[in-house]
Amino acid sequence: MKAVILAAGKGTNLAPFSTTRPLPMMRVAGKYLFDSILSQLKNSGVNDVFVVVGHQKEKLIQRVNESANNGLNLQYVEQARSSGIGNALMQVKSKISPGEYFLLIYGDTVAASNIFSKIQQSFHFFKCGVASICLPPANSMFGNVFLNAQMSITKIVEKPKGDEMGNYVLSGVYILPYTFFDLLKKNKLSMEKAIQEMVETDGLRASMWEDEWLDIVHPWEILSANRILMDSWEESSISKSAVLESNVTISGTVRIESDVVIKAGAVLEGPCSIGSGCYIGNNSLIRSYTSLGNHCSVGYGVEMKNCVVLDHTDIGRLSFIGDSVLGERVDIGSGVMTVNRNVDWKPVRVKNNKGALDTGRLKLGAFIGDNVAIGAGNTIQPGTVVAPGKIIPARYSITGK
């Protein structure tokens, strides 16, 4: 079976990280989301994969080319302009043969285990179009699904309100027939209307997904995706080329990649991931659910907790980074503190282009875009978003002026 990964969207709600990359190129739990999808596809027996690229396409095209020899027939197709999901899917019509079914995947979703194997099992049982459904933390943001006793989907309500709420939502994974392209064309490339017509005519069965699942919509959900993937780990791995000095303490499940240096007195509490070429300074504390990208530097006495840090980022000595996401090539000066809760313990709010959003989280730090420099001694309030490329001067108590 062929698979189509939709990865062309801008994901504007995920700024500042979506500003400089397609979402599948976020590194979470030590791997790009794109790589995690490919790994699950390969393990589920899928060999032919088409990736629809658009926003910040260069980074994803490079990754497609780098992954071309991993046992998959991997190709990319470009969506020339951002015109919605239906238009993106139409770009691969020529790659699918009449009478053929294909696996459709939204590239911004995360599952704790192999959701693609599960939907293929359902397809082989039902022998017709199938949509994966699950129970999410909240229903109002997703297409709500209503079923009958035979697991046929009877109705889908997009972004429901009040008594329109269903128990299940679409989880962004489908197996669809070639004829779905005709439904898309008939419904003016509206994915929602085409799916609804399929429900009302040819029928669409449900594949129940009971493990954890997440559609990454907002930047703080990157932390949730990181937790979901790390909780699925069953064993630790430490590269032979990693150097751990005396008195390094490790507990829980950890993954330490090649050429890592961890200095004396450091403590690692799993689950956590340390990318290749990282440096962890003396007496640093790397707490649970921390993911460091490749070639990061953590200075003396730094504490990190529940954070995702992308490649080539440096964190100065005696800093605290908690419940935060840091982009690539971020330079954090000494003694920088990401405050991760309000004094009154009210849920943290995060500002985006639509105003302040209530995250519902009591603990949440900062979201710092690529190529940001934050000078020594700064204290960053909860929920702060720092745009890519911004430079924040050091905080001086005494100046020479």
Domain containing residue 372: CATH number = 2.160.10.10
Are both 210 and 310 inside the same structural domain? no
Strands (E), 42-143: 48-53, 73-78, 101-106, 109-111, 130-134
pLDDT tens digits, 35-66: 999 999 999 999 999 999 999 999 999 999 98
Are both 275 and 346 inside the same structural domain? yes
Are both 153 and 189 inside the same structural domain? yes
Are both 218 and 261 inside the same structural domain? no
Residue 180 is part of a domain; what is its CATH number? 3.90.550.10
Are both 108 and 243 inside the same structural domain? no
Residue 207's nearest CA partner among 125, 110, 143, 119 is: 119
> How many other CB atoms sit within 10 Å of the CB of residue 120?
20
- Which of 230, 252, 270 lies at the terminal end of a domain, its last residue? 230
Between the ranges 66-80, 150-164, 247-261, where is the mean pLDDT highest?
A: 247-261
Q: What percentage of the chain carries pLDDT values higher than 70?
A: 96
The answer to whether residue 400 sits within a structural domain is: no
Q: For residue 264, what are the domain limits?
A: 234-392
Q: Which residues contact 201 (CB under 8 A, 6 or more apart)?
A: none
Are both 202 and 245 inside the same structural domain? no
The domain total for the chain is 2
The answer to whether residue 159 sits within a structural domain is: yes
Tokens (6 digits) for 179: 């004829």
The answer to whether residue 397 sits within a structural domain is: no
| N-term to C-term CA, the chain | 69
Q: Are 3 and 97 in contact (CB under 8 A)?
A: no
Are both 76 and 133 inside the same structural domain? yes
- Which of 197, 230, 263 lies at the terminal end of a domain, its last residue? 230
pLDDT tens digits, 79-120: 988 889 999 999 999 999 999 999 999 999 999 999 999 999
Are both 28 and 177 inside the same structural domain? yes
Q: What is the pLDDT of residue 156?
A: 85
pTM of the model: 0.93
The answer to whether residue 401 sits within a structural domain is: no
| Greater model confidence, 25 or 160 | 25
Q: What is the pLDDT of residue 398?
A: 83
Tokens (6 digits) for 175: 């197996």
Res. 318: pLDDT tops 70: yes
- Which of 181, 201, 230 lies at the terminal end of a domain, its last residue? 230
Are both 382 and 271 inside the same structural domain? yes
Are both 241 and 159 inside the same structural domain? no
Average pLDDT over residues 372-396: 96
The answer to whether residue 398 sits within a structural domain is: no
The answer to whether residue 116 sits within a structural domain is: yes
The answer to whether residue 399 sits within a structural domain is: no
Are both 226 and 275 inside the same structural domain? no
Are both 240 and 334 inside the same structural domain? yes
